[in-house]
Amino acid sequence: MYYVYKKDSFPEPPRIVFITIFLGISTIFPISLLIPLVEEIGKNYHHTVAAENFYQSFFRAAFLEELFKFFVLVFYCLHLDEFDEPMDAVVYGVAASLGFALYENWEYVVSALNNKGYDEAVFVAIIRSLSAVLLHALAGVMMGFFLIDAVFGKNNHKLNLILALLFPVCLHGFYDYILFSENISSWWIYVLIIGFLIRSRFIFKNLKENINQKQIKRMPQPSEIVLSIGATFVGVIFIYTIINA
């Protein structure tokens, strides 16, 4: 978070960033309410182990988690007067993502501490900080990246709003799918993370080079937000149908 915050040439008010992090943490409540429903629905549709892993990775985890981070951005952050230049989309995207990751990481560490002791808890904290937490941060970067063109761009607003949700869902989903699969080496997780760390570096460089360009904020219409959610859901179902064939 500190790294991304310092990349902003016009830093956001710390109070607003902390509120966004807190809202990211608070997404655990609606997500927790929806998980039993998603799991119950999924019981009737798994024909293969791969399909089960895909469902858990893309629907139960990625879609639900990224959807509510997306809500934090479009229903809170975008309406802020402080959200007035492209880099802000990335800052708030990472803040919302790390808020959720903070709570999730805390749950895993406490569970390890209670069940296996202090050493295991420290190990879990270190491993997750180098994998899951980084993944959430990168998903936030990519969500913010596409949101930039949806809000400040001149063309393809609807497409970029769809990608602002669809791309993080796919990134997160593939990460979890690799984690759940017994047939795919877990080293691919780090290939995925390193690849997107490099991509994020170029995103920051490009934003810095264009920092002085005049930008006009365009608020997404409710119909466009619904379209982005629907298109993402349909996209994930399409991939699931192929896996489950």
pLDDT value, residue 207: 67
**Is the model's pLDDT at 212 over the cut of 70?**
no
What is the rounded CA–CA span in Å between residue 160 and residue 10? 24
Enter the DSSP assignment of 220.
P
Helix, coil or strand: residue 212: coil
Q: What are the residue ranges of helices labelled H in the chain?
A: 2-7, 14-26, 28-42, 49-54, 64-75, 87-116, 118-129, 132-151, 157-180, 187-209, 222-243
pTM: 0.87
Query: What rounded mean pLDDT belongs to the chain?
Result: 84
Q: What are the domain boundaries of the chain?
A: 2-243
**2 vs 125, more confident:** 125
Angle between helices 187-209 and 87-116 in degrees, nearest 10: 150
| pLDDT per residue as tens digits for the range 114-160 | 888 888 888 888 888 888 888 899 899 999 989 988 988 878 889 99
Structural contact between residues 64 and 36, judged by C-beta atoms closer than 8 angstroms: no
Please report which confidence band the pLDDT of residue 25 belongs to, taking 50, 70 and 90 as the band edges. very high
| pLDDT per residue as tens digits for the range 149-190 | 898 887 888 999 999 999 999 999 988 888 887 777 677 777
Question: Which of 224, 228, 223, 42 is CA-nearest to residue 143?
Answer: 228
Alpha-carbon torsion (206, 207, 213, 218), positive or negative: positive
Structural contact between residues 27 and 139, judged by C-beta atoms closer than 8 angstroms: no
pLDDT value, residue 211: 59
Question: What is the mean predicted confidence (pLDDT) over 17-34?
Answer: 94
**131 vs 89, more confident:** 89
Of the listed ranges 10-14, 109-113, 221-225, the least confidently predicted one is 10-14
